[in-house]
Amino acid sequence: MAQHFAFLVLEEHPYGREMLRILLERGFTPGLLIQDASEVAAEERAKFLNRIAG
């Protein structure tokens, strides 16, 4: 049975890109990709990068 799903991700977010890469690598292709390019997305990306930097 075919899987139909949308993938929602913050623009240029490392974790989101990695999740999408793994999905595609395992044969799961989203029917719709929604990328949030808002100021909030940029803030969340910056917070994530600060957390992983230590």
Query: Which stretches of the chain score pLDDT less than 70?
Result: none
pLDDT at 2: 78
pTM of the complete model: 0.79
pLDDT at 3: 86
pLDDT at 13: 92
Other beta carbons within 10 angstroms of residue 23's beta carbon come to 15
pLDDT at 46: 94
pLDDT at 1: 75
Classify burial at 10, counting beta carbons within 10 Å of its beta carbon; exposed 0-12, middle 13-18, buried 19 or more: buried
